[in-house]
Amino acid sequence: MLRSRVAVSGSTGLIGAALVRSLRSDGHEVVRLVRRRAASGDEVEWDPKRQYVDVAGLAGCDAVVHLAGAGVGDHRWTQAYKREIRDSRVLGTAAVAEALAALDTPPKVLLSGSAIGFYGDTGDRAVDESAPPGDGFLPSVCVEWEEATAPAEEAGIRTVHARTGLVVSKEGGAWGRLFPLFRAGLGGRLGDGRQYWSFIALHDHVAALRHILDTETLSGAVNLAGPSPVTNAQVTAAMGRVLRRPTLFTAPAPALKIALGEFSEDVLGSQRVLPARLLESGFAFAFPGIEDAVRAALR
């Protein structure tokens, strides 16, 4: 990508912060969407709940990467928090898409976040971007989330839905919670351990986002997950080997259901998701295996 002006929402999150660092290190101008009054020239005010975006602040952007949304695993899934999960994605995405459509010269691409939660529980069955949505809360959220980009698509903006898997990083996300447990020798499999986890190293995730920005033939859904999904038991074994710690503890399914409530269905669910479109477009993973990804997270 030639030197560009890129707007990023969710820029303080795990993926957004890493993407901003990567873009700026290569000389790109980055403007960040912030939920307060803009305090500098590299900030744009927005409020997803009010569906407000300072449209003028997005003028001149070549690309917009929209990653904002309430954390799925941050709180117990009460009805109120489920509404927040949905609204933070659907209302926020609609606000960004409508703002871009209103620009006299819109950006070339909107790269909007989504998740492999779109597919629901796939069991042992491998799925790619051609698979339909699954059943349940998260698949329904993902469907609405992706549909909310419609104003941008109708304005002729190349729109990509980045369906993200489990990002391997010690800095945050689900894996950020696993590392301290495994370092302390308290790690172990969840439930029976047979559920598939579709993971991706943080380095590869950022590289994939940038590949999508640069690849004009990519639009629609793109799975951001590594090429070799593994079971939770295999993740547990790999974490133990890399960290040189025992993995004797287990979290039985009934205990997880008591502790996590409805969210436990997703922790115990199986998602064997393949990145078909990334691979077809020529993307090469630097850390395709689970041990590679865990070691990369520790560097």
CATH of domain 5-168+198-225+272-285: 3.40.50.720
- Give the relative orientation of helices 232-243 and 290-298 as an angle to the nearest 10 degrees: 40
Tokens 């025992």 sit at which residue?
A: 246
Question: What is this structure's pTM?
Answer: 0.95
Q: Using alpha carbons, list the distances in angstroms from residue 231 to 124, 178, 191, 273, 290.
A: 10, 15, 11, 12, 10
Give residue-wise pLDDT tens across range 212-237. Answer: 999 999 999 999 999 999 999 999 99
What is the helix (H) or strand (E) element at residue 231, kind and residue range? Answer: strand 230-231
Would you state the pLDDT for residue 259?
Answer: 61
Nearest CA-CA partner of 82 in 13, 136, 20, 14: 136
Q: Tell me the per-residue pLDDT of 94-125, one tens digit each, with 9 for 90 and over.
A: 999 999 999 999 999 999 999 999 999 999 99
Bigger pLDDT: 73 vs 84: 84
